[in-house]
Amino acid sequence: MGDLKARLKPLFRRSSTFSSPKSPKSPKSPKSPKTPVFEAAPTGDTPADGQSVSKTSLRLKTKKSPFTIPVYEEKEVPPQLPPLTPIETESLGRGDLEQSPNTSVEARGLPQPSSLERDNPTLTVEAPTPQSRGGEVGGVNARDPGHLAEPDAGSTITSRRPSIADRRQSPAHDNQSRLITSLSQSESLQLQPTATDYFGEALVPAKMQQHKKIWVKRPGSSATQVIINEEDLVDDVRDMILKKYANSLGRNFDSPDVTLRILYRRPSGRHSQTERVLGPEESVSKILELHYPGGQSVEEALIIDVPQRRTPKHSPHLAMPYYLHDDLRPRENGTDYFPPMPLQGPHSPHLPSNLSVSSTQGVSHHPVAHSIGVLAAGQVPKLPSPGARIARHSQHRPKYGRQHTSSPTVIQGAGNAPTHDNLKSSNPQPLPTPPIPEELSPRKAVTPPLPRASSPGPRSKVLVTKRSKKGIEQTSAAPGSVRDGAVPPINVLIVEDNIINLRLLEAFMKRLKVRWSTAMNGKDAVMKWREGGFHLVLMDIQLPVMNGLDATKEIRRLERVNSIGVFSNSASSTPTFANGEGVGVDRVPGIEDSLMNTALFKSPVIIVALTASSLQSDRHEALAAGCNDFLTKPVNFEWLTRKVMEWGCMQALIDFDGWRKWKDFSQTKAAEKAAGQSTGSGKSPKAMNGKVQAGGGKKEKEKMTLALVKENKASSEDTGTSTDTNGDSGSGNEITGRP
């Protein structure tokens, strides 16, 4: 190398002489070498230069005729660099800095002319300068030839060289040689044009000064360079980084999200480092100078950190729920007159679709044709199995209900044409009723008023309250209890022949604080049902005497014959229909079939089949018989709760008048009733009161919805109106049968 230097020196000097004059400051520089040096270094785009140089050097090597080559020419100069770099060690570069303030040398190695200008004083000696930039130098020279290199520079330069070498080496060290090569190529490309510029334009150098490149990398990946201006702050660098990482970062992060870390390198030259996060306001150039006096190597790339979370661009999460909403909407709207209203459409007895809605509800998302429809069509729909265990613990509940909680906006947006019309007529506003979006979806339609959440949580709470009382359940109205608020005040008929199951179901009904009665066989069940006032029947399928399916069929038949609920208006299927509304009057229902108090049968009772069978065929059978829904044993209490709430709420809304009446009614005559009605039921008058009262709280909402329903469906009310008068009589009577 010595030879080379020797040979080169003259060349450099020349160049230096030319170049040095350029920078007026340069003379000063010797005193405060560092500052100028730094500037130079940054401007020089060290890495890029080095690389470019190397390439050139390679070419040159082959030529290997340094002598002949004039300083001015770029090509010639570069060759020198390569040889030098390898020889010199990093340590030198670093250590040298102290020794020779001129550190700037590196900068020279770096392509940038600007550095050259300032540094030149020092550089001049060694020529080293970059050689790569020989061209530049030439340009410079033109400006001030007067400046000659300072003698000292030479030594410093050599020392610095190494730093360049380091850079080159470092890439090689990195496993990512491939990347580096690619980078170098790209960089070299960039450089080339600049080089030409240098020659051509005097201005170029100025520009060059402002730009430099720094290494950055993401943790665990290869380093890359970004171009910065001398004065750039870390904040600016972040922007550049985002541009550089346009895909991986740029799409998801904003520059404020990005943090940069710098790894200290120890003076010792070791790479053991501590690190520091750079503040956005810090000057990149200065930081780099400070911490990497010899120049930044690839290994010292600033580390880019980004937060884990992604910035919510299009907020995919939100999008999903909305999407779902929209999905559901159409259906809801389609069915419902008042989309916003929770219960309306499906509940109105008049709509033939009622049952179908109900049947689908609790069970699953699969479309289930309603049982009545099955009778007519003769086809059995696919059945989902509600009993599936998985379901119980899973997140079912929250899923739809919560999201729906309708923000008015959503409703508006989603509303289909029909919906809008309705809305406008009834409610121009978005719908204040967020009561329950669930309602909108057919499945959940029933539940609306009731907080879904209640099922799991509340239960435990209830227990807590109850604990004190040991075994005895107080069915009395406990205003404080959660259940009261959650479960509609319905009357449930439990039909179950197994005493064990019966006891459990009873206990469960107690907890739900709903009224209930029991029947041990199908025949008994029908008898009980005829008393009226039941909203929900939990029907075991296999029963002695009369099995659950037969009992169900019988109940449906009686409903039809007596024109209860849906049947009164709905299709021809019922012969009764032709005769009009008269309940017991017509010949159709025989005396034995007529129901005592039609007022108590506002709508077809909901029959939920209970079966221990896992067979699909059994479920089909159950639906075909007229059951609305089914549960698989062992009955999951959570499911049961849900069923009770869903169906119960629906029924409660339909029978709102009934409820109101019941309230008064039950207060006065509860005792009688209980006696009259129940053989097996454990309900106490207190319980009834409690229920009803509890229900009162919700009534406001219910009223609203009900009123709407009524408006639309005045016809159905025929039976309903009679309710008031009949109500009292309903209590005890059984088969009194009207003529």
Partner 1 sequence: MAESENGSMALPDFGDSIDALTFEQILEMDDDEEDREFSKSIVYGFFEQADATFKKMDSALKDNDLSALSSLGHFLKGSSATLGLTKVKDSCEKIQHYGQRKDVNGNPTHDNDARCLSLISDTVKVVKADYEEVERVLKRFYGDTGK
Residue ranges binding partner 1 (CB under 8 A): 389, 392-393, 456-457, 459-460, 463-464, 466-467, 469-471, 473, 496-501, 503-504, 507-508, 511, 540, 542, 544, 612-613, 615, 617, 633-638
| Cα distance between residue 572 and residue 375, in whole Å | 13
Our CB check for partner 1 shows the closer of 219 and 471 to be 471
Burial 486-521 (b: 16+ CB within 10 A, else e): bbbbbbbbbbbbeeebbebbbebbbbbbbbbbbbbb
Our CB check for partner 1 shows the closer of 77 and 640 to be 640
Our CB check for partner 1 shows the closer of 31 and 467 to be 467
Q: How far is the CB of 501 from partner 1 (least distance, A)?
A: 5
Q: How far is the CB of 391 from partner 1 (least distance, A)?
A: 12
Q: What is the DSSP string of 453-487?
A: GGTHHHHHHHHHHHHTTTT----S--TT-HHHHHS
DSSP 605: P
Our CB check for partner 1 shows the closer of 417 and 472 to be 472
How distant is the alpha carbon of residue 47 from its chain centre? 43
Half-sphere exposure of 492 (CA within 13 A, CB side): 34
Q: How far is the CB of 453 from partner 1 (least distance, A)?
A: 11
How distant is the alpha carbon of residue 343 from its chain centre? 29
Give the amino acid at 542.
Answer: Q
Answer yes or no: are the C-beta atoms of 440 and 336 closer than 8 Å. yes
Our CB check for partner 1 shows the closer of 317 and 469 to be 469
Q: How far is the CB of 643 from partner 1 (least distance, A)?
A: 15
Our CB check for partner 1 shows the closer of 564 and 635 to be 635
Q: How far is the CB of 480 from partner 1 (least distance, A)?
A: 16
Q: How far is the CB of 619 from partner 1 (least distance, A)?
A: 12
Q: How far is the CB of 677 from partner 1 (least distance, A)?
A: 25
Our CB check for partner 1 shows the closer of 406 and 636 to be 636
Our CB check for partner 1 shows the closer of 406 and 481 to be 481
| Cα distance between residue 68 and residue 62, in whole Å | 14
Q: How far is the CB of 392 from partner 1 (least distance, A)?
A: 7
Q: What's the count of helices (H) and strands (E) in the chain, helices before strands? A: 35, 10
| Cα distance between residue 498 and residue 140, in whole Å | 105
Q: How far is the CB of 468 from partner 1 (least distance, A)?
A: 8
Answer yes or no: are the C-beta atoms of 530 and 595 closer than 8 Å. yes
Reduce the DSSP state of residue 410 to 3 states and report it: helix
| Cα distance between residue 318 and residue 315, in whole Å | 6
Our CB check for partner 1 shows the closer of 159 and 518 to be 518
Q: How far is the CB of 282 from partner 1 (least distance, A)?
A: 51
Half-sphere exposure of 703 (CA within 13 A, CB side): 7
Q: How far is the CB of 499 from partner 1 (least distance, A)?
A: 7
> What is the total residue count of the chain?
739
In 207-357, DSSP assigns E strands to 211-217, 223-229, 259-263, 275-278, 302-305
Answer yes or no: are the C-beta atoms of 129 and 98 closer than 8 Å. no
Our CB check for partner 1 shows the closer of 319 and 507 to be 507
Answer yes or no: are the C-beta atoms of 112 and 30 closer than 8 Å. no
Our CB check for partner 1 shows the closer of 397 and 673 to be 397
Our CB check for partner 1 shows the closer of 255 and 465 to be 465
Q: Please tell me whether the peptide bond between 544 and the residue prior to it is cis, using omega within 30 degrees of 0.
A: no
Q: What is the DSSP string of 170-199?
A: HHHHSTTHHHHHHHHHHHHHHHHHHHHHHH
| Cα distance between residue 288 and residue 262, in whole Å | 9
Residue 260: strand pairing partners: 278, 304
Our CB check for partner 1 shows the closer of 456 and 582 to be 456
Reading across the β-sheet that carries 259-263, which strands appear in turn?
223-229, 211-217, 302-305, 259-263, 275-278
Sign of the four-CA dihedral 523, 527, 530, 533: negative
Q: How many CB atoms lie within 10 A of CB 463?
A: 10
Our CB check for partner 1 shows the closer of 290 and 545 to be 545
| Cα distance between residue 728 and residue 726, in whole Å | 6
Q: How far is the CB of 686 from partner 1 (least distance, A)?
A: 18
Q: How far is the CB of 599 from partner 1 (least distance, A)?
A: 35
Q: How far is the CB of 503 from partner 1 (least distance, A)?
A: 6
How distant is the alpha carbon of residue 253 from its chain centre? 17
Helix (H) or strand (E) holding 538: strand 536-540
Q: How far is the CB of 387 from partner 1 (least distance, A)?
A: 10
Q: How far is the CB of 460 from partner 1 (least distance, A)?
A: 4
| Cα distance between residue 397 and residue 60, in whole Å | 75
Residue with structure tokens 């201006």?
Answer: 229
Q: How far is the CB of 500 from partner 1 (least distance, A)?
A: 4
- For 270-301, the three-class secondary structure string (H helix, E strand, C coil) is CCCCCEEEECCCCEHHHHHHHHCCCCCCHHHC
| Cα distance between residue 272 and residue 284, in whole Å | 21
Our CB check for partner 1 shows the closer of 317 and 467 to be 467
Return the CA Rg of the chain: 44
Our CB check for partner 1 shows the closer of 7 and 503 to be 503
Our CB check for partner 1 shows the closer of 417 and 499 to be 499
